[in-house]
Structure 1
Amino acid sequence: MPLDAYGVLSGTLHRHFRDRPDTQGRWFHVNLEVDAPAGRYRCAVDVDSAESATGVRWKVFTLAPSVLEPVPALAPGYHDLSTGPGSGALDHLRHPALADRPGCLFVRRPPAWLRWFPDRLNPPRPWVSGSHLDAADALEPLLVPGRPILVFGEPFDHGLGMHNIHQNQGDPYGSRWWAENGVWQDGATLTRRPDGWYDVFLSKFSSQADRTDADGHPA
């Protein structure tokens, strides 16, 4: 089954801070404090995994608000989203603005002399690998206090907050997250720049598949 709930928090970024290291010096999240009408939310963005053999990959890029509709027009606050295209939900592997490669303008890869065309419309956005410090360093320049922010993920069961702000599909069979696999329920952090465009941070665990089936399981 997919996540118990999925949606987007629209608000204003107050500040961010990193987890306090544990007894082994490890930490796993950059925490955002986001102001919305219901109060101040804490949003935990994964930059590492508590599983010692699993790292995190990420990507950072910029998007026009038009490709995120209808979410940019939502009022401040948390909003449930239906898990399907057109609702404003995100899917790292299926949303044409988020995928590693441009949208399928061609059934097969176009000839070399035409490849510049889809790449110009929607340039390739490969995943980057590195340490949790590298991932945090990639995210934090986007986190300008006072910026409008959109946080996609799962709301806390209790209190104001969001988690699962990462890819939520492709976890391997036998993992404790297999049951949460699903499509059109991926997390993301987006902050709105003064020009109206959005800076975007996506993250995923290195154990998660790059291709999934209709249920979000590895294909």
Structure 2
Amino acid sequence: MPLEAYGVLSGTLHRHFRDQPDSQGRWFHVNLEVDAPAGRYRCAVDVDSKQSATGVQWKVFTLAASVLEPASTLAPGFHELSMTSGSGAIDYLRHPAFADRSGCLSVRRPPAWLERLLARLNPPRPWISGSTLEATQALEGILLPGRPIMVFGEPFDAGLGMHNIHQNQGDPYGSQWWDDNGVWQDGATLTRRPDGRYDVFLNKFSTQADHTDGAGHPA
């Protein structure tokens, strides 16, 4: 079954800080403090390598605000989103602005002219694999205090905050996260540049599949 709730927090980045050792159990987070009308939210971005030198993977790139609609047009605050295409939800494998064309399954290869057009509209963005520290530094590169920010993920059960800010599908059968698999519920961190475009940080784990079925399970 998917996450119990999913949505996007729109606000202003106040600051960020790294976990101290063992402050969040086994997993390491970069914590974002985001100001919104309801107060200051804490958003815990999981960049833990899961005890592996290459267990965490990430991408950093820039997108126009228009391709993020309707999420980019929402007022400051937390907004619950339906886990469907067109709601503003993010799916790393299905959203046209995020999906890696090289990872898409297709019956046949498109003609060369179409491949060139697709490359301009959505250039290949391979996942980078590395350590927790490297992933942390990549995320911190887009975290400028005072920037407008959108954080996608699951809200805390109590208090102002969000977690599950990472890919939330493709976890293998038998893992503790299998039951959380679902489509159109991936987490992400986006900060708005002065020119109106968004810097995007996506993060996942090497154990998560790059192809999933309609339930978000590995295909």
TM-score (norm 1): 0.93
What is the Cα deviation at residue 154 of structure 1? 0.1
Contact 2:13 2:32 in 1 (8 A): yes
Q: What is the CA deviation profile of residues 53-89 of structure 1, one whole-angstrom value per residue up to 9, with x for unaligned ones?
A: 5811000000001111111111110000000000000
Q: 2:2 — aligned with what? A: 2
In angstroms, what is the RMSD of aligned CA positions? 1.9
Q: 1:30 — aligned with what? A: 30
Q: What is the CA deviation profile of residues 17-65 of structure 1, one whole-angstrom value per residue up to 9, with x for unaligned ones?
A: 1000239xx761110000001100000111114x435811000000001
Q: 1:185 — aligned with what? A: 185
| Partner Cα distance (1:134, 1:38) in 2 | 33
Q: 1:55 — aligned with what? A: 55
Contact 2:27 2:46 in 1 (8 A): no
Q: Mapping of 1:59-78 within 5 angstroms?
A: 59-78=59-78
Q: Mapping of 1:7-156 within 5 angstroms?
A: 7-22=7-22, 28-49=28-49, 51-53=50-52, 55-101=55-101, 108-112=108-112, 115-156=115-156
What is the Cα deviation at residue 214 of structure 1? 0.1
Q: 1:114 to 1:76 in 2, by over 3 A?
A: closer
| Partner Cα distance (2:161, 2:64) in 1 | 26
Gaps of 5+ in 2: none
| Partner Cα distance (1:18, 1:133) in 2 | 10
Residue 9 of structure 2 aligns to a residue in which SS? strand
Residue 13 of structure 1 aligns to a residue in which SS? strand
Counterpart residue type for residue 9 of structure 2:
L
What is the Cα deviation at residue 112 of structure 1? 4.7
| Partner Cα distance (2:113, 2:88) in 1 | 34
Among the aligned pairs, what percent are the same residue?
A: 79
Contact 1:102 1:121 in 2 (8 A): no
Gaps of 5+ in 1: none
Residue 179 of structure 2 aligns to a residue in which SS? helix
Contact 1:19 1:27 in 2 (8 A): no
Contact 1:102 1:122 in 2 (8 A): no
Residue 101 of structure 2 aligns to a residue in which SS? coil
Q: 1:102 to 1:70 in 2, by over 3 A?
A: farther
Q: 1:202 — aligned with what? A: 202
Contact 2:103 2:210 in 1 (8 A): no
| Partner Cα distance (1:197, 1:103) in 2 | 25
Q: What is the CA deviation profile of residues 129-184 of structure 1, one whole-angstrom value per residue up to 9, with x for unaligned ones?
A: 00011101111010000000000000000110000000000000000110000000
Residue 139 of structure 2 aligns to a residue in which SS? helix
